[in-house]
A and B are shown apart, each in its own frame.
Chain A
Amino acid sequence: MNNRVLSLVLSRLLIALITLVIVSFAVFFATTLLPGDTASILLGQAATPEAVEGLRKAMHLDDPAILRFLRWIVGLLQGDLGTSYANEMPVADLIGGRFINTLQLAGVTALFSVPIALTLGITAAMLRGSLYDRIVTVLTIGVISVPEFMIATSAVLIFAVYLKWLPALSFANDVTSLTDLLRIYAMPVITLTFVISAQMIRMTRAAVIETLNTHYVEMALLKGASRPRMVFRHALPNALGPIVNAVALSLSYLLGGVIIVETIFNYPGIAKLMVDAVSTRDLPLIQSCAMIFCLGYLLLITTADIIAILSNPRLR
């Protein structure tokens, strides 16, 4: 790795860091815009003005916003996520187990969708213009242009209502056997796999087609290389960077999908926790969840960018 690549990667990381600061700023101030006084909301209608005043003091609500922001950030960096308004539990405890559940869901989805999407995307690009390619393209556009909940409800309708293979809703608390586990994961994973794969197929196909259009691939064709050889020896090694980039980018769509899927299937993950927190207006919980999501998203898109930089042979 030479200096140029290193400086590019470093500047990308710096941009990610600056973005993270701006994002945390945005998240903090969006949540402090809340109309109404947090202290009086917490204490309820029967609170005396003195009690409200006392709580405001205790929570440092009278301090200027910038001071509270700095205190919040420092707390985050030290691993102190604050205390939930709704049930007085430390936010870190509430998030812990659920975060692992969400990661599991995302991991299993990635395990299924990446091989499926790569196979379909690359073969569609190889057979560009064929009936197969057209079917794949139409299906992916179809999946991309409908809301995630429609995919989820359709999956329930097909697999649970008509075929009766799976239960309609998943509950992770009464798991007794492997088949139970499969049944619980099946529906959310199927739904998410559809959503993610569609994005990934589209991007992979575009990346491979772009490489197939280059002069050196045309050269390979002209010198008489067979079609598979042309694709596997000449095009794919060069398309690897863009493909990995596409995979990382499409995995970032997991974040949006997971919010819907966890809600509809009652999956005890962090997204469900956040949606519930929004309905109870539990600010510390919302802030922490939002930061975790933004961090994950930023991590994925930064990885995608860095892979794109590293895989560019001109910079090597």
Chain B
Amino acid sequence: MTMTHSETKSDRISGTRLGYRFNIIGMVGLSVILFWALIAILAPLIVPYPVGEIVDLDYFGPMSRDFWLGSDYLGRDMLSRILMGARYTVGLSLAAVTIACFSGVMLGMIAAVAGGWLDTVLSRFLDALNSIPSKLFGLVVVAAVGSSIPVLILTLSVIYIPGAYRFARALAVNINAMDFITVARIRGESTLYLIRSEILPNIVGPVLADLGIRFVFIVLLLSGLSFLGLGVQPPYADWGALVRENIGGLPFGAPAVMAPSFAIASLTISVNLLIDNLPKKIRDRSE
């Protein structure tokens, strides 16, 4: 009885109740991610000052009690702008990574199950797409169709479909060689059934981990494009655009330059930490 009691207690601490065990570093990563997700949802309710309003008489103001992260190049409150920027950075990246991974994984599984010429053509084409450097791809598309939020989401997801495809296809090919797939085929199951009920459940763990890594890439690329002035356009600003706006404050060491960068770093590093410390049960389910 005592033993069961102590077990449930330790279970609660390490999170085994969900069936998974996270270590401390993973937990820290997860909480930072949840923090930014919450900020992104609640931003309009918690910003201390209206985002577009000039509230400080000084531009590039230092950190103070009134302006926790100083003020930007026009004297707007930096904290409010970063909190609102979270919406664009997190939201756009999340949308892009969902589209990229969904399409990539679907195509990957279809290619693995179908095989033959479909597999060859798809792999060749996506490999070619993959050998365009990602920033360059973004530059060319923005040059061609201009930068708007739907264009950004679509471009970012197209850039990362080949990676997701390759990853999912490699996993699915391994599963496809298993006996239970052969049995299912002999039973006469359709391709759709094979993908949905036999392959997907067996690769979903690694695919989710891959989704996290791709999310980091997308956040970095989006920030990079915005930093070049080709991403999110004013009056809206994501974190990359905030750095660009305030780059003039760099020689004075204004907090307005570094604060958005730190926000990006906190998000991407946390996702990496979480992925690296994911329970083996999720990460290596295919093995």
Q: Which positions in A face B, CB cutoff 8 Å?
A: 15, 18-19, 22-23, 26-27, 30-35, 141-142, 145-150, 153-154, 156-157, 160-162, 168, 252, 255-256, 259-260, 263-264, 274-275, 277-279, 281, 283, 286, 290, 293-294, 297-298, 301
B258 at interface, CB cutoff 8 A: yes
Which residues of B are found within 8 Å of A142, using beta-carbon distances? 265, 269
Contact present for B251 and A168 (CB under 8 Å): yes
Least CB distance, B238 to chain A, in whole angstroms: 12
Contact present for B128 and A283 (CB under 8 Å): no
Least CB distance, B92 to chain A, in whole angstroms: 15
Least CB distance, B256 to chain A, in whole angstroms: 11
- Quick one: which of B127, B139, B252, B258 contacts A153, CB cutoff 8 A? B258
Least CB distance, B148 to chain A, in whole angstroms: 12
Least CB distance, B28 to chain A, in whole angstroms: 14
> In the complex, which residue of chain B has the Cβ closest to the Cβ of A156?
B250
Interface string of B190-234 (1 = CB under 8 A from A): 000000000000000000000000001000100110011110000
Bound-state Cα–Cα, A33 to B131, Å? 21
Contact present for A147 and B140 (CB under 8 Å): no
Contact present for A34 and B145 (CB under 8 Å): yes
Bound-state Cα–Cα, A27 to B132, Å? 9
Which residues of B are found within 8 Å of A256, using beta-carbon distances? 133-135, 224
Main secondary structure on chain B at its contact with chain A? helix
B1 at interface, CB cutoff 8 A: no
- With A23-B131, A146-B264, A147-B264: A259-B125 Cβ-Cβ less than 8 Å: no
Which residues of A are found within 8 Å of B139, using beta-carbon distances? 259, 274-275, 278, 286, 290
Least CB distance, B90 to chain A, in whole angstroms: 15
Least CB distance, A263 to chain B, in whole angstroms: 6
Q: Which of B101-143 contact A (CB under 8 A)?
A: 124-125, 127-129, 131-136, 139-143
> In the complex, which residue of chain B has the Cβ closest to the Cβ of A301?
B131
Which one of B125, B134, B250 has the greatest number of beta carbons of chain A within 10 Å? B250
Report the number of A-B residue pairs with Cβ-Cβ less than 8 Å: 139
> In the complex, which residue of chain B has the Cβ closest to the Cβ of A149?
B227
Which residues of A are found within 8 Å of B99, using beta-carbon distances? none
Least CB distance, A110 to chain B, in whole angstroms: 17
Main secondary structure on chain A at its contact with chain B? helix
Contact present for A255 and B133 (CB under 8 Å): yes
Bound-state Cα–Cα, A161 to B247, Å? 13
Bound-state Cα–Cα, A19 to B144, Å? 21
- Quick one: which of A23, A147, A255, A274 contacts B224, CB cutoff 8 A? A147
Q: Which of B236-260 contact A (CB under 8 A)?
A: 240, 243, 247, 250-253, 257-258
Contact present for B268 and A146 (CB under 8 Å): yes
Which residues of A are found within 8 Å of B145, using beta-carbon distances? 33-35
Closest 10 CB pairs of A and B: A22-B128, A150-B261, A145-B268, A278-B143, A146-B265, A19-B128, A255-B133, A256-B135, A147-B223, A33-B144
Contact present for A275 and B243 (CB under 8 Å): no
- Quick one: which of A15, A157, A286 contacts B140, CB cutoff 8 A? A286
Contact present for B228 and A290 (CB under 8 Å): no
Contact present for A275 and B132 (CB under 8 Å): no
Contact present for A30 and B141 (CB under 8 Å): yes
- Quick one: which of A27, A146, A255, A298 contacts B261, CB cutoff 8 A? A146
Which residues of B are found within 8 Å of A146, using beta-carbon distances? 220, 261, 264-265, 268-269
B98 at interface, CB cutoff 8 A: no
Which residues of B are found within 8 Å of A161, using beta-carbon distances? 250-253
Contact present for A260 and B224 (CB under 8 Å): yes
Which residues of A are found within 8 Å of B247, using beta-carbon distances? 153, 264
- Quick one: which of A31, A147, A278, A294 contacts B220, CB cutoff 8 A? A147
Which one of A23, A146, A161, A294 has the greatest number of beta carbons of chain B within 10 Å? A146
> In the complex, which residue of chain A has the Cβ closest to the Cβ of B223?
A147
Q: Which of B137-158 contact A (CB under 8 A)?
A: 139-146
Contact present for B253 and A162 (CB under 8 Å): yes
